[in-house]
Amino acid sequence: FNLETEWKNTFPRQRELDREELFEKAKGDILDEIINLGQLTPKEWEEAFYNKLWERASSYFFESIYLPAAQTENSGIFNTTVDIKLKQWADNMLPKKCVEVGWDTLHDEFIKIVEKDKKNKGHDEIFDQLKLAVIEASKNKHQWDSKAEDSLRVIQVNTLEDRSVTDKQQWDAAVKFMEETVKGRLHQTQDKLKELTGPGKWEQWTHWKSKTQDHRNRGATKGELEKILSAEKDHKSNLATDELTTVRRNLQTSGIEVTNDFIRETWYHVYRQFFLTKALGQCQECRKGFYYYQKGFTDSGLECNDVVLFWRLQRMLQITSNALRQQVVNNEARRLERIIKEVLDEFGEDQDTLAKLLTGPRVQLAEELKKVRQIQEKLEEFIQALNKEK
């Protein structure tokens, strides 16, 4: 009677469920949530894959493909360099990276569904720890289909080899993609330079901030390096030894002592800002370059091979996203569902695990009530047996 009274006063709107019953309820919730993955539209899946693929691949593309190719003397060498580097990328790193992206996206989307359910009015926090443990255990068990990597490699090699932009709509989409990605990269570089050189005069005045000595050294070094780039518009990405010496001596004249590593670190960001600004200008010049592209750019004075490169990249991202969506819908979502069922069955058979994951005053009280009722039932059976004997 005391336990029942405590339950009515402490948990007046909750059903009295012991640990085993709570687990069955949680099991049903989790299986409903994994089924909800099927409610995602093809567009939502492909956008999720596309965004994550570009997030993972962008640094490698800019640093190892686009930047080295842009250092070449003419469009012929640019295209040769791009072809070689894209083939190496598609043969080795890219398919594996895409499978990782597929795996991460699938689990991220499942976690989003679970988190969304937490915001529902009837959400019960008592299941949160159990759900988290099931998600982690299923992630550790889930392996993507081993044949998927080879399948992606064939698709990506064929897609990246194609250099034929067929219509103006595709050209405009590639120009837009290049402009957006280069702008994003440029903003990141500018933010990093701002962090290295410290607050500007206006920010110092309005936010009561001041520059450190390191900020001042960076700013002076940046100024010297920008002089080199303004004097040589086609400067390569590496700083020559004599240029390093000149910069250091000029800074010493101003009473600033810095190391070669300090200058190189500053150069890395200064050069990328210079390169990306130049690429952005090139992109804007090529907005109306499709006509010249069809004519092979002969006698136009226009070089838009960068746009073709970004078109090849964009098509690869789109086709890979589509392939990953099909792999998820046809195989991986069902595989994950099967793994989650196995994990739930394992947890259901392990009372110690359940005791750790389903815990708290409410569970404890329900378990005590269950024990007392079991004792009551046995007593009633015993009394009935005694009465029959009499």
Write out pLDDT tens, residues 95-137.
999 999 999 999 999 999 988 877 776 677 778 888 999 999 9
pLDDT of residue 377: 73
Dig out the tokens for 390 from the structure: 């009499």
| Alpha-carbon separation of residue 17 from 275, 357, 358, 364 (angstroms) | 65, 15, 11, 10
CA pair distance 31, 80, nearest whole angstrom: 51
State the pLDDT confidence band at 299, using cuts at 50, 70 and 90: low
Q: What pTM was estimated for this model as a whole?
A: 0.84
Helix (H) or strand (E) holding 251: helix 241-253
| Alpha-carbon separation of residue 243 from 214, 225, 246, 264 (angstroms) | 21, 9, 5, 11
* Closest C-alpha among 358, 380, 213, 192 to residue 271: 192
State the pLDDT confidence band at 338, using cuts at 50, 70 and 90: very high
pLDDT, tens digit, for every residue of 19-33? Answer: 778 888 889 989 999
pLDDT of residue 246: 94
Task: Decide if pLDDT at 39 tops 80.
Answer: yes
pLDDT of residue 388: 78
Helix (H, G, I), strand (E, B) or coil at 359: coil
Task: Decide if pLDDT at 7 tops 60.
Answer: no
pLDDT of residue 136: 94
pLDDT, tens digit, for every residue of 130-140? Answer: 899 999 999 99
Percent of the chain with pLDDT over 70: 88
Average pLDDT of every residue of the chain: 88
Q: For the chain, state the CA radius of gyration.
A: 32
Task: Decide if pLDDT at 206 tops 80.
Answer: no
State the pLDDT confidence band at 270, using cuts at 50, 70 and 90: very high
Q: How confident is the model over 303-326, as a mean pLDDT?
A: 95
pLDDT of residue 162: 93
Q: In this predicted structure, which of 34-43, 232-241, 359-368 has the lowest mean pLDDT? A: 359-368
pLDDT of residue 12: 60
> Of 303 and 48, which is predicted with more confidence?
48
